Structure formats: structure tokens, C-alpha cells
Structure 1
Amino acid sequence: MSEHSSHNDIDDFFSSDRVAGRDEAIELSSKSYREHLIEHDDPMLVDVRGMDYEQFADDRYQAPFLRDLLEYWRGLYDEPFVGITSDGERQEGVYSLPAGVSSDPAPAAAASALLDLLTPHQRAKLCYPLDAAQWRGWSNPEFVFFRIGLRLEEQSDAVVHAALAVIEASLSPDGYARVVEAMALNGYLGELVDLPTIMNDRSYWFALYGTPSADEPWGWQLFGHHVALNFVSVGGRHVIAPVFLGAEPALSDDERPPLFDAREQLAIELAESFDETQRAEAVVFASVLDPAMPEGRLHPADERHVAGAFRDNRVVPYEGIRASALDDAQWSLLRRVVEDFLLLTEPQRAQALADVDAHRDETYFSWYGATDGSQPFYFRIQSPVILAELDHHAGVWLNNRLPARFHVHTTLRLPNGNDYAKAYLAQWAARSAR
């Protein structure tokens, strides 16, 4: 057993260090992520090299930790949908679907073009009813749990390009660039560890829900390692939530653009702007492994992020500083951070930001770690209509045992029942039944 494997004492991929409280500060190293590359002949890599995604999934399923995790996920998947809440009670009336508005026809047109390329068998695998349970089966690890839609790496170039065209038509130019860069970084990681058949820029599932239309509700879903998006068009509003975007490495020595650096710099600027009283409220824990964290706050797979795969019904209490205690300049910075999470086209992004503005006094910002960027950190923005978080993680395919800025997870949710646009869809159904 290699040195790397012998230290990963939860299983070959996860060490207990990532969830162990420690009093000392976790300083960010100035070293490149390349200093943390696992040796090419490490058994962790050698034992799975050459496997396809199904063989790798079968191999990973043998790990007791993973079997327990998947059993837990399955239980969460089987729960009736409620939505993320702050106290276990869904707050009603926070979402309002506009009346008599048609949606941008471009995403539906691109989806129809994709369907025209497919065989009946491919269509049967790709398409689900709008109310299908499979919406909630997405996940972000490199191993497969639910198999939903078409696996892009198994499709022709024409089909892949048509699927990407659906995504491009649905997102802002910046949003689309970020998503395809996250997919490309997955391929880059596969090259770094010489596992291209497990991690590549097409190792993703794509599905359609409902019938693509500018007037009737429909949606699509993309998910795989470090990328998960759920898009719904309904009654003139586009919802892209839940979203999971991440990367390892997220910073790649100028070989690829940094995925979240601009967002992190905005968040640091906001955190550094706090006066002593504001800082005392906003900084919930002194570090990302603060031993003061309550039992259960850290998870070996999720670390600190609370809104990832299968967390559709999680109760996430508010913490940190309330936005009513921020001045206008600070609120502007917070709003710019939120905007960077939104992948929407205009005017959809403006409408989503207006929803956030309407709940300014109910918005909270929380921070874990030093605020000057010298340490790994976690932050969360949470209100009745948004939950957005960024977390620095320990290595999985790199061997850093403690969190670092080159492994990042981010999530976006619409609390109180509007993930997958479910609140809007309920309003649409009620309106249509009149």
C-alpha cells in the first residue's frame, strides 16, 4: 500500500483529516497544486486505470463508506420533496410567477434540434415526464449512482454538440463558458492522473423533461463530476437550480482559467470590509476545521457545504450577519457575489436579482476562516429565495489532506420549494386548472 493510500483512513479516497477539528490555523501553501499530484504508480490510480465508468462504479461500490453513503442518499431521494428550509417549515408566498409571459424560444428550439438527431431508442433514454422523480437523482462525484438520460461520452459528436447547444441557449455567455470550463477541467484532471476513461469532458448525463416549448413548461438536466445543472422554463421564468459546480484543480498554473477566483476575491473584499462588530457576527468559525463546530457539521464527502446532491429537504438554519447590518456598499458587494452564482440569461438574471433584493433584510452572510485570503474558507449567502455557498476542500485526486483553494465546491439552491422550479410549476398548474 502506498503512502497516500495508507493515510486515507476512511477509504482510499477520503482521509479523516478533512473532518478532524484542529486548533492551529490552516495556512494556504504557496506551492502549485502540482506539488500534490499522486504518484503515477500509486495503487489508488493503478488499480482503476483503464476502467470505464461502469467498472469504476462497481469498484467504488465495494468501499463500506461509499455503500453507507449511497444508502443514505437513496433514503433522501425517496423522501417527498419539500425544499431546503431554515427551520423545517416551508415559507410560502416568496415566489410569484408572472402572468401572460412567454419564455425565450431559443432553448426549446435547440432541444427540438437535438431530438431530431436521435433514434427512437436514444429519445426513450433521453426523455422523461416533467414531473419525473429522476430530477432529484443527480449527483456530482466521478462514480455513477443514478443513470439518467444519455451519457455524453457514448454519443456521436453531432449529438454531443447538439446537447451542448441546448445548454448554451439556456445560459448566459459567461454562465455557459463557466460550465464548459468545469467540464474541461474534469478532462484535465483525468489527464493529470491518467484516468481519461473515468474523468473526461464528456463523462456527463443529459436528460430532457417534458416537451420543449416556448409556452409550456419543460426542462433539462446535466450532471457528472463537479457539474450539475437543472434548468426549467415555466411561465416566462427560467430556473437554474439546483446547481453544483466545482473543480480539482480549480487553479491550474495559468494552463486553464481559474474557475472561481473572481467570486472569491469579491467575497474576500466583502469579508475584509467588516468592522469589528460586523466581523463578530459574520465569522461563525475561526477556521474551516474549527474544533468548535458541532458534531455532524463536517461530512467526509461534503465537508462544509450543505446544499449538494440529495439535500433537497435539508434544514439549514440561518447564521452569520444579517444584511440589514450591512451598508449599501457592502450589500452591493454581496449582490455581486450572488450575481456571479447566477448562470441565467438577461432579463432572467435581473429578475432573479430582484427577488434577492426583495428579501435584503432577511439575507444572511456567514464566513468560516480568516477573511484575508491567507487560509481556506467557506461562505454562505442565504435568504428565503437563495442559498449560495463556496467551500474549499481537501484532495480526492490530489493528495492534500487539508482544504486548499485548488479544490472548490459551489452550490446554488432556491429554498422554500423552488428548486427544479417546483413552486413555479405548482402556480402554473393551479393557473391552468382555472
Structure 2
Amino acid sequence: MTKKISRRDALKVGALGMFGGLAACSPVARATESLLPTYSPFPTSTAVPAATSLPGTTPTAGPVTSTLMNDIASQATRYLESLDESQRTKTSYAFNDPELTRWHWTTPGNYPRNGLPLREMQPAQRDAAFALLQTSLSTYGLQKSLDIISLQNDLGNDPELYYVTVFGTPGVEPWGWRWEGHHLSRRFNILNGKLSVTPFFLGAWPTVNNAGLKAMEREEWAARELVTSLDDNQRAVGIFQQDTLGRHVTQNEAYVAPLDAVGIAASNLNPDQQTLILEVIHKYLDTLPDSIAISHLDRLQAAGLENVTFAWAGPLEAQRPHYYRLQGPTF
């Protein structure tokens, strides 16, 4: 990049809607004013905390992260205590169980999941499960999760088929927990005083529902704005194939090697284009709490923002199948 982006610069960008700041954020523009879904499977009594974040792929540690890990453990314990014995058995696995590395983004009918689904919880238990998710995410991350879940109604899927699974004993390392269903997979593993938040998956289908909800609007459109802003020379590097990819690159593997670098480096983009790269990064990553955000923003900068690359495959027209990839030394 032409200049180094400091944390202060990132916060300034947040005033433009790219990064909501490290102390608080406002809900994204939506078709509805409510922060929580209006249909019955979800709690209406749980307040949504103010937070933003920028997570990464490597576990993070530190005093603030330790507080977060304690909060997550406390809420996970409350969730387990709200269940009866048979429910606890269903939701609980040992940390070394092979179930720990199973994950998928598809519908439950195509991929049987283990854990306790929302549909088998009583209202107070469901409240405890959502409170655990709320504690583990930022306001933005919680809202995006709720938006993705709400789209299941448009697809004719059961929005209560999201499963909560706890691995090990909360607060006794190693331990972790997972929330997973169609197009949403979030996991939080705590080991050696560090918190890991990957892999995670966010998906939106339909991209716009009948009520106008766009669960992942800027993730798509900021990337499209970027690729359409490229000049001919930049497109020759940034667009690595004319047709979109036919399958997910890494699939749902538990362990993947770093991908080969493709696309155009941020150092070869103008300032406006660099801003769009950062917007896309933040839209994917600002879903977790602040301590993780700060740590991984620092790692990203230390490795060199200029080394981040953007690649596109497929047509440039809206509503056409396409693929894009952002990658750098740390993600």
C-alpha cells in the first residue's frame, strides 16, 4: 500500500461505516429496526452488547482476552446448568472427540449435526444459548448471525435447526464450544490461555429476501466495487479466470495449507481501492470482541498490509456467479 494504516486511521474509516470503532458500534442498516428476529424461536429479553472486532486465524491471548474467555466460560456454564441431564449429554463432548473437527455450512438434511438444536430447548434454555453466542460475538457479529438464521424462513427451512455443542468443561482448558447450522458456523476453542475462533463460515441465501434484508450486502458489493474499479492493467492481474469456481476451494476440511497467492497486491492499488480492500476485510472480520480485534489488526499490519492480495473469478455483472479471494501473510 502507499501508506501504513494505523489503528487510529482504521477508527477514522469506521466513521465512514467500514470499521465501527474499538469501543462501540451501531447496528447496520436493515429492513427492520429490531436487533433481534421477530419470530418465535429467539429470545427477546437478552440485551445486545456494544462491541466490534477484527479477529484472525491465530489464537490470541492477553489480559482483556482472559476476561473474555472467563465471560464465555461463565455463560457456557449457565447454558449447561439450564439443561436437564439428557440434554447435557446430547450437547456435551470431550475436547479430544473427533466431533471437534467436524463442521459444515450446508443444511442439516445434507449433513447430520451433533449437539443440542434450538428446537429441543425450552425458552429459558434458548435464552441461555443465545446469551452464550452474544457473549462470544460483537454486536455486529450477533446481528449478522441472527440475519443469516432468519433467512431460513425464506428457504422453508427450520430456523430452530441450529446446534449448540460444548467440548470439555467450560473454564477447564482445553475446552470450547460451537454454534452451527445452515450457512452459519462459529466456534470458540480455548487452549493454553489462548482463544481460537476458526474455522468460521458466514453465508447468505437468498442474498436479498422479500422484506429487503441483505445479510451480507457489503461483503458482496464492496468487492464488486473494487473489481470494477480496476483499470485494464490491474484487471489483467486481479482477475485470475473468467469463469467462477465450481466448488469451495478448501471445502470443510479441518486442516488446510496456505493457498497459493493469486491476484493483485494492495501495493498496486490506489487509495480508494485500498479502502475497499480494507472494507471487505473488516466486514468479514469485525464480528468478534475487541481484544481479538486489536490483536489481529496488529498482526495484519506487522505482516504488511501492502502484501494483501485481491483476486476475482467470474463475470463482473451483478447477480452472476462469482468468486473472490482476499489473502495475506496472516490470513
In the alignment, the residues of structure 2 paired with residue 130 and residue 109 of structure 1 have an alpha-carbon distance, to the nearest angstrom, of 18
Give the direction of change, closer, same or farther, for the CA distance of 1:236–1:362 in structure 2 (3 Å limit).
Answer: farther
Residue 333 (structure 1) aligns with: 276
Deviation at 1:276, TM superposition (A): 2.4
- 1:277 maps to what in 2? 233
Does 2:78 correspond to 1:113?
yes
Structure 1 position 330, deviation (Å): 2.7
Q: Which residue of 1 aligns with 2:224?
A: 268
Instruction: Quote the Cα distance in structure 2 between the aligned partners of 1:347 and 1:266.
Output: 26
Match of 1:227 in 2: 184
Q: CA shift at 1:152, angstroms?
A: 2.1
Cα distance between partner residues in 2 of 1:256 and 1:246: 16
In 2, distance between residues paired with 1:331 and 1:355?
18
| Aligned-residue offset at 1:145 | 3.3
What CA distance in whole angstroms lies between the structure 2 residues aligned with 1:153 and 1:268? Answer: 38
Inter-partner Cα distance in structure 1 for 2:292 and 2:256: 25
1:207 aligns with 2:165: yes
SS at match of 1:333: helix
3-state SS in 2 of match to 1:158: helix
> Matched residue of 1:265: which SS?
helix
Quick one: which amino acid aligns to residue 243 of structure 2?
A: S
Question: What is the deviation of 1:286?
Answer: 2.1
* Cα root mean square deviation, aligned: 2.6
1:385 equivalent in alignment to 2:330: yes
Q: Helix, strand or coil for the counterpart of 2:188? A: strand
In the alignment, is residue 324 of structure 1 matched against residue 267 of structure 2?
Answer: yes
Please tell me whether residue 128 in structure 1 is matched to residue 93 in structure 2: yes
Report how far residue 99 of structure 1 moved. Answer: 5.8
Q: Which residue of 2 aligns with 1:240?
A: 197
Output aligned runs, 1:137-176, within 5 Å: 137-142=102-107, 143-176=109-142
Residue 315 of structure 1: CA displacement? Answer: 6.2
Tell whether the 8 Å contact from 2:310 to 2:325 is kept in structure 1 after alignment. Answer: yes
CA distance in 2 between partners of 1:153 and 1:166 (Å): 17
Show the counterpart of 2:314.
Answer: 369
1:148-187 deviation line (CA, Å, top 9, x unaligned) = 2112222222222211111111101111111111111113
Cα deviation, residue 283, structure 1: 0.7
CA 1:131/1:257 → structure 2, altered by over 3 Å: closer, same or farther? same
Aligned partners of 1:374 and 1:227: how far apart in 2? 22
The code of the aligned residue for 1:115 comes to L
Report the alpha carbon displacement of residue 377 of structure 1 after superposing the two structures with TM.
Answer: 2.2
Match of 1:397 in 2: none
CA contact under 8 A between 2:58 and 2:196: conserved in structure 1? Answer: no
TM-score normalized by the length of structure 1: 0.57
Partner in structure 2 of residue 182 of structure 1? 148
Gaps of 5+ in 1: 1-93, 191-198, 289-296, 387-434
Secondary structure in structure 2 of the residue aligned to 1:141: coil
Structure showing greater radius of gyration is: 1
Look up the equivalent residue of 2:100 and give its one-letter code.
W
Structure 2 unaligned blocks of 5 or more:
1-56
Matches within 5 A, 1:1-150: 95=58, 97-98=60-61, 102-104=66-68, 105-142=70-107, 143-150=109-116
Contact kept, 8 Å, 2:218 with 2:280, in 1: the verdict is: no
CA distance in 2: counterparts of 1:252 and 1:97, whole angstroms: 36
SS state at 2:203 partner? strand
Return the alpha-carbon distance in structure 2 between the equivalents of residues 96 and 239 of structure 1: 4
Equivalent residue letter for 2:77: S
Alignment correspondent of 2:34: none
Going from structure 1 to structure 2, the CA distance change for 1:347 and 1:371 (only over 3 Å counts) comes to farther
SS of 2:105 mapped into structure 1: coil
Q: Distance in 2 between matches of 1:98 and 1:250?
A: 36
1:228-269, Cα deviation, whole Å (9 max, x unpaired): 11122456654322112223212113x152011122221122
Relative to 1, partners in 2 of residues 1:175 and 1:140: Cα closer, same or farther, differing over 3 Å?
same
Query: Which one-letter code corresponds to 1:223 in the other structure?
Result: E
Which deviates the most, 169-178 or 138-147?
Answer: 138-147
Identity %: 29
Paired amino acid for 2:182: H
Structure 1 segments (4+ residues) deviating >6 Å:
none
Is residue 369–residue 378 contact of structure 1 (8 Å, CA) maintained in 2? Answer: yes
- Partner AA of 1:206 in structure 2: V
Count of matched residue positions in the alignment of Structure 1 and Structure 2: 270
Q: Tell me by how many angstroms 1:138 deviates.
A: 1.6
